[in-house]
Amino acid sequence: MDTVITRFPPSPTGYLHVGGARTALFNWLYARHMKGRFVLRIEDTDTRRSTQASVDAIFEALEWLGIDWDEGPYFQSKRFDIYLEYIDKLIDSGNAYYCTCSQEKLEEMRATAMASGKKPKYDGTCRNKELKKTDNAVVRIKAPLDGTTVVRDVIKNNIVFNNTELDDFIICRSDGTPTYNLAVVVDDITMSINTIIRGDDHVNNTPKQIIIYNALGHSLPVFGHVPMVLGSDKTRLSKRHGAMSVTEYKDMGYLPDAFINYIVRLGWSYGDQEFFTRDELIEKFSLENIGRSAGVFDINKLLALNADHIKLSDPDKITKHLAPFLNKLGFEFREGPFIEGVIKTLNARSKTLKEMAENAAFYFQDTISYQEDAASKFLTADSVEILNTLIALFEALESFDEKSIENVFVKIMEQTGLKLGKIAQPVRVALTGKTISPGVFEILNVLGKEKSINRLKMAASFIGDKKS
């Protein structure tokens, strides 16, 4: 079997959104699953709307998603000579021709067709005139006049188009620029693309592209048209449903592995399994399991899946994604045991990385600001003795780990008869400034001996200041 070669060809006229990201992911996963190749192509022939900012945003989104490419990026705007070469081939072979019909003439033939109840289309006026190239001439393909063009779709099965519904469509404009369908086919031929997975909004382009393939005498690629992604109300996905750019999800604190896990499930399934690692997706992905029904985007399901990925991911894999959120809060850190310890205490409590960073703030602060209600309830005169006892026992510890810390608390409980909560809550407020946090033993272990003792001393001093 030939090596599978897929592609992703975004137009740089905006940011990469959910639908485009899913298309890229399906092509990338299939190429990786089949040990094939994945090509990135930027379709920037619309020079009026294409921008470098959009190109950069697409690259940023793909990089964040972890979708790498084996070839490219190719830019259509730099390939015009290749397109014109293929247009000349089509003309020389008699499969295309120059057309000089004016706009008025085209409007007239459309009106005539509609008046007789026919589809408005080009009537072939210049088809057999063998005209030469002129400044106002376009180039049209010679489409078949009868029969059918069949799209053999691996997702939707065969889709049949009557050739009488098609016309001799333009493949090169009068200004010498190729049309979309011509450029796409030439690109896919010259880049050896043999598998095309794309949204089903392209279905109506496919018979035209098949006609161009046939005219060039080239074998057809595998086509697979994926149903669109819909919003929760089953209408076309828009910003009100969460159809933001991919980079916005990054900025909201989603893990890339959670995001690709979610969007791959918008149209693809593997039994009842919902949670997938990246490696599992590569191992299990197949075209056969892409469904024919539209995927429904649900931001709450994405959020829940993100929480699962944060909880189950190794801390060292979360660190680089968490870093920008901590930096934005003004905190700097080094990779290593400390930040991994921080993550371990918060990963089961955080739905997003943004939330994790906010909840981790107390680990990085030099001075703790106590919530008023927490301080009034737990940093009281009755707590000073507990805090001072802990300070003394902690200072005497040679090993400051969770087990040793727990033993200190047990010792105080035995000496005082107090329950753990009576001891732990003042300590929690002293360490974090809040009444809700990860486990006290975990926090002390991550903060370390020196920082923990300093915070307990600051809390005791705070209580002393209140008394005075």
Asked if residue 27 belongs to a domain, the reply is no
Question: Could you tell me if 352 and 371 lie in one domain?
Answer: no
Question: Could you tell me if 108 and 181 lie in one domain?
Answer: yes
Question: Could you tell me if 108 and 198 lie in one domain?
Answer: yes
Considering the entire predicted model, what is its pTM? 0.92
What's the mean pLDDT in 22-30?
Answer: 98
What's the mean pLDDT in 219-223?
Answer: 98
Question: How sure is the predictor about 26, in pLDDT bands with cuts at 50, 70 and 90?
Answer: very high
Asked if residue 430 belongs to a domain, the reply is yes
Question: How sure is the predictor about 259, in pLDDT bands with cuts at 50, 70 and 90?
Answer: very high
CATH number for the domain that contains residue 322: 1.10.8
276, 291, 312 - which closes a domain: 312
CB 76, CB 187: distance < 8 Å: yes
Question: Could you tell me if 92 and 197 lie in one domain?
Answer: yes
Is 239 assigned a catalytic role? yes
Question: Could you tell me if 88 and 214 lie in one domain?
Answer: yes
Question: Could you tell me if 119 and 207 lie in one domain?
Answer: yes
Percent of residues, the chain, with pLDDT higher than 70? 98
Q: Say yes or no to pLDDT of 468 above 60.
A: no
Question: Could you tell me if 272 and 352 lie in one domain?
Answer: no
For the chain, the domain total comes to: 4
Question: Could you tell me if 376 and 359 lie in one domain?
Answer: no
Question: Could you tell me if 214 and 115 lie in one domain?
Answer: yes
Asked if residue 36 belongs to a domain, the reply is no
Question: Could you tell me if 338 and 424 lie in one domain?
Answer: no
Question: Could you tell me if 251 and 359 lie in one domain?
Answer: no
Q: Can you give the pLDDT at residue 90?
A: 98
Q: Which of 78, 118, 119, 239 is catalytic?
A: 239
226, 260, 286 - which closes a domain: 226
CB 315, CB 344: distance < 8 Å: yes
What are the pLDDT digits (tens) for 52-76?
A: 999 999 999 999 999 999 999 999 9
What are the pLDDT digits (tens) for 329-387?
A: 999 888 899 999 999 999 999 999 999 999 999 999 999 999 999 999 999 998 999 99
Query: How far is CA 441 from each of CA 310, 350, 406, 408, rounded to the nearest angstrom?
Result: 22, 19, 7, 10
Range(s) of the domain holding residue 350:
314-364
